């Protein structure tokens, strides 16, 4: 096995006493999503607002002296070890910083795959930021965001750790202040294939450009993928129907996040979110989470640095 090559390990004993450190990988919501055109490179121009959450996965890392990147525990279903985003992130950082050290990586997964909550991208971003600190690379936020963009369009927002208005492929970020909020989240259990959704003939690809003002006023809160997914996936439509029913007496309404199947409703306080959660029919996978003013990963990095 060559130096730096990833491999799986059957040893799942991950604890602080063994030299492991723990790092948060928060989930995100897209509070709206518009497609405003198609680019010359084949991608689409998007507009969205990323909202980070005080909930997500936990990444555990341990520095190795032999230069290997070792992923402990199972990878996501159907993902080869070498294609795991956390492994690729560690290898990209190792190559960019020209460091000799390696890392053990273990993930405590909470964010459902394919739901549009950003689990894979957030995990990769946390590996970039945390290993940059643990290895003493000192590449800085901008360089790490560049590395993250090569892994996925959503990775830079997690690297930077701030709620943001986003354009382009989602990589042109403008920090935005968002009010405190709680979210009722539902996972319909459908793994939405982003590439297939972008190919959907009924997808609106030329919506008029939104502005931050139109988002703040509530005029721009739609998600371009919602009508497509609701027609194609009965479970997603059923989740929207259930959320609409429990929010009938409020001004809140369900929305889709990203290009995944995950749905959410925003509330001003925890109590309102909990009441709505209690009214949902049994059988739905649902939970509540607070919106974050900034990523909990930034707090962890500051604590490590001090």
Residue 202 sits in a domain whose CATH number is: 3.30.70.890
Catalytic residue (choose from 104, 132, 154, 187): 154
What values do phi and psi take at 198, rounded to 5?
-65, -25
Are residue 94 and residue 243 in the same domain, yes or no? no
In the structure encoding, which two tokens stand for residue 274, read together?
């909990």
* C-alpha span between 288 and 111 (Å, rounded): 13
Helix 119-134 to helix 296-305 angle, to the nearest 10 degrees? 10
- 46 and 162 co-located in one domain: yes
Per-position DSSP letters for 192-237, written without gaps between them: --HHHHHT-TT----PPPP-HHHHHHTS---BTTHHHHHHH-HHHH
**According to the model, what pLDDT value does residue 191 have?**
86
**pLDDT at residue 147, as a whole number:** 98
What span, in angstroms and rounded, lies between the C-alpha atoms of 182 and 124? 25
- What does the pLDDT read at residue 78? 62
Domain that holds residue 109: 6-175
Q: In this predicted structure, what is the pLDDT of residue 14? A: 56
**Which CATH number goes with the domain that contains 161?**
3.30.230.10
What is the per-residue pLDDT for 77? 58
Q: Is residue 233 part of a domain?
A: yes
C-alpha 82/C-alpha 76 separation (Å) is 12
User: Is residue 296 a part of any domain in this protein?
Assistant: no
How does the average pLDDT of the chain come out, rounded?
91
Instruction: Tell me what pLDDT residue 186 has.
Output: 98
Strands 255-256 and 164-168, sheet pairing: unpaired
Structural domain contains residue 300 = no
| 99 φψ region: left (φ > 0), alpha (ψ -120 to 50), beta (else) | beta
For the record, the structure tokens of 23 come out as: 């790092």
Residues 182 and 269 sit within 8 Å (Cβ to Cβ): yes
Domain assignment present for residue 150? The answer is yes
pLDDT at 4: 38
Range list of β-strands (E), the chain: 6-9, 21-38, 44-64, 69-72, 102-108, 164-168, 172-175, 182-187, 255-256, 263-267, 285-290
Is 15 part of the annotated catalytic residue set? no
Nearest CA to 37 out of 241, 206, 172 is that of: 206
Q: How many domains does the chain have?
A: 2
pLDDT at 250: 80
Q: ∠ at Cα 184 (178, 187), nearest 5°?
A: 120
Same-domain status, 190 and 170:
no
50 vs 47: CA distance, rounded Å:
10
What pLDDT was estimated at residue 197? 86
Clarify whether residues 139 and 29 are in a common domain.
yes
- Same domain, yes or no: 21 and 126: yes
Write down the catalytic residue from 28, 57, 84, 104.
28
Q: Are residues 171 and 199 in the same domain?
A: no
Q: Please give the pLDDT value at position 76.
A: 61
- Which pLDDT belongs to residue 8? 39
> Is 83 tagged catalytic?
no
Low-confidence ranges of the chain (pLDDT < 70): 1-17, 75-78
Same domain, 146 and 209: no
């Amino acid at each position: 096995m060559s130096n730096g090559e990833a491999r799986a390990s059957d040893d799942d004993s991950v604890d602080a006493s063994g030299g492991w450190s723990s790092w948060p990988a928060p989930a995100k919501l897209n509070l709206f999503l518009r497609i405003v055109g198609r680019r010359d490179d084949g991608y689409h121009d998007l507009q969205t607002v990323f909202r980070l959450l005080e909930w997500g996965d936990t990444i555990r890392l341990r520095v190795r002296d032999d230069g290997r990147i070792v992923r402990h525990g199972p990878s996501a279903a159907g993902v080869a070890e070498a294609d795991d985003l956390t492994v690729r992130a560690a290898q990209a950082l190792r190559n960019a910083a020209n460091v000799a050290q390696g890392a053990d990586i273990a993930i405590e997964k909470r964010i459902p795959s394919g739901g549009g909550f950003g689990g894979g991208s957030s995990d990769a971003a946390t590996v970039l930021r945390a290993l940059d600190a643990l290895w003493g690379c000192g590449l800085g936020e901008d360089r790490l965001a560049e590395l993250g963009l090569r892994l996925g369009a959503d990775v830079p927002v997690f690297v930077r750790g701030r709620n943001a208005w986003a354009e382009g492929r989602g990589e042109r970020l403008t920090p935005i202040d968002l009010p405190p909020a709680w979210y009722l989240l539902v996972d319909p259990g459908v793994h939405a294939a982003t590439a297939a959704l972008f190919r959907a003939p009924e997808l609106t690809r030329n919506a008029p450009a939104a502005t931050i003002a139109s988002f703040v006023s509530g005029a721009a809160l739609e998600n371009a993928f919602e009508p497509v997914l609701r027609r194609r996936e009965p479970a997603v439509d059923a989740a929207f129907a259930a959320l609409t029913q429990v929010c009938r007496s409020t001004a809140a309404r369900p929305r889709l996040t990203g290009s995944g199947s995950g749905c959410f409703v925003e509330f001003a306080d925890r109590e309102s979110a909990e009441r709505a959660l209690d009214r949902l029919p049994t059988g739905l996978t649902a939970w509540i989470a607070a919106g974050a003013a900034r990523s909990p990963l930034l707090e962890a990095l500051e604590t490590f640095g001090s």
